[in-house]
């Protein structure tokens, strides 16, 4: 068939009909994926998984069950299973030394990249899930108007998200802190600030406020808006748009730590160079020109979507290691069918029940994400330890 014969012009009515068609499909797809209640549920854990999570032998789990001071879970067939909320109680008890100490503040981590398709949202959501499983209370702030992280939590940005569920009211100045927008999720110990296409409006409101008031610092809005939530959460994870926008700048300026997912491809590496170049210029214009400074507790580069069989990627991997040095986390997130399966089901590798996919492939992906969460948790703990030590020095001096 000659493609020229099938082409017809598309007017605005055609585009509107297309939008309604896709929206209707999304409703049906989500209903099918999340049937029968259209509400996601967190997976359960068995004894071996509980032991791995808590860093103890399986025998320790059996012993603590005899004491009766932690949730006993339920027997299903020949095995015992715990809900995610119950497993988190065990983690908080058996991993107490890893939790936020008294006198330490919540840590804000921004996941950012100049380019889409680098597993940015997947990294942000799996980090939130992984840290919550380890006993931390987590807030995920979705600032990407596409709302991909919001969708992964079972909420449709177009149909179920209003302005008051997003950071938009903070950016317009109607609200001064972000607590108004926080909502619980299906995953225990993770709360969410949603995103929706209406967030694109922040790219107009923030510069307009700056133009009206020269003393206004548009890049500090999110940082100040998170002051109160930092008291309630151990970790705040921020997912950003794939651009260096006004909103992304806010997210970076609010961050204690930054994670950049980076696939080992030449185009992605070049894009990352542009990102840091532009961000450096903006910092000089916005911060240093006013006699101030901004520091980060850590900046991590996470090799993502890595294909072991791709020989060309090994060359770029060396570029990444040479260019970013010790900022590169010693773990690579593989590009696997598991990730594609999870994504198709509006979830992550942590949402998939074991046995639902090839066990070897699942294990490879799960181990990589577990290690990512472990490495980032270690950096968070180091920040908390430094905060406590500095506070003790101040108290001693007084």
Each residue's pLDDT tens digit, 255-302: 999 999 999 999 999 998 888 888 888 878 887 777 778 889 999 999
pTM here?
0.89
Confidence of residue 311 (pLDDT cuts 50, 70, 90): confident
What is residue 166's DSSP assignment? S
State phi, psi for 296 to the nearest 5 degrees. -120, 140
pLDDT in tens, 103-153: 899 999 999 998 888 899 999 999 999 999 999 999 999 999 999 999 999
Residue with tokens 């990249």: 113
Q: List Cβ neighbours of 112 (8 Å cut-off, separation of 6 or more).
A: 120, 240, 248, 251, 252, 258, 259, 260, 275
| Euclidean distance between CA atoms 153 and 348, whole angstroms | 10
Q: Which of 54, 52, 58 is nearest to 79 (CA)?
A: 58
pLDDT in tens, 321-375: 999 999 999 999 998 766 555 554 568 899 886 655 567 777 888 999 999 999 9
């Amino acid at each position: 068939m000659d493609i020229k014969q099938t082409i017809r012009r598309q007017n605005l009515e055609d585009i509107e009909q297309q939008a309604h068609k896709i929206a209707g499909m999304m409703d049906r797809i989500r209903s099918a994926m999340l049937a029968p209640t259209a509400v996601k549920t967190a997976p359960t854990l068995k004894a071996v998984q509980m032991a791995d999570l808590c860093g103890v032998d399986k025998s320790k789990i059996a012993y603590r069950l005899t004491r009766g001071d932690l949730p006993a879970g339920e027997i299903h067939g020949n095995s015992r299973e715990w809900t995610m909320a119950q497993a988190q109680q065990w983690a908080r008890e058996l991993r107490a030394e890893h939790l936020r100490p008294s006198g330490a503040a919540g840590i804000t981590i921004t996941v950012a990249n100049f380019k889409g398709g680098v597993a940015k949202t997947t990294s942000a959501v799996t980090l939130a899930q992984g840290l919550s499983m380890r006993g931390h209370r987590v807030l995920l702030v979705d600032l990407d108007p596409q709302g991909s992280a919001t969708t992964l939590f079972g909420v449709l940005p177009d149909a179920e998200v209003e302005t008051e569920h997003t950071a938009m009211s903070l950016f317009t100045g109607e609200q001064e802190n972000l607590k108004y927008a926080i909502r619980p999720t299906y995953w225990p110990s993770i709360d969410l600030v949603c995103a929706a296409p209406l967030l694109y409006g922040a790219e107009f409101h923030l510069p307009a406020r700056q133009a009206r008031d020269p003393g206004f610092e548009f890049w500090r809005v999110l940082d100040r808006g998170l002051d109160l939530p930092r008291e309630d959460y151990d970790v705040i994870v921020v997912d950003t748009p794939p651009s260096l926008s006004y909103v992304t700048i806010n997210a970076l300026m609010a961050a204690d730590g930054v994670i950049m997912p980076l696939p080992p491809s030449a185009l992605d590496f070049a894009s990352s160079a542009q990102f840091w170049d532009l961000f450096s210029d903006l910092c000089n214009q916005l911060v240093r020109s006013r006699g101030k400074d901004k520091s980060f507790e850590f900046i991590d580069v996470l090799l993502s979507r890595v294909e072991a069989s791709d020989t060309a990627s090994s060359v770029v991997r060396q570029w990444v290691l040479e260019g970013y040095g010790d900022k590169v986390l010693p773990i690579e997130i593989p590009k696997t069918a598991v990730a594609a399966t999870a994504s198709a089901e509006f979830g992550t590798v942590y949402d998939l029940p074991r046995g639902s996919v090839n066990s070897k492939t699942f294990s490879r992906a799960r181990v990589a994400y577990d290690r990512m969460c472990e490495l980032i948790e270690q950096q968070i703990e180091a920040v908390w330890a430094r905060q406590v030590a500095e506070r003790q020095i101040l108290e001693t001096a007084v």
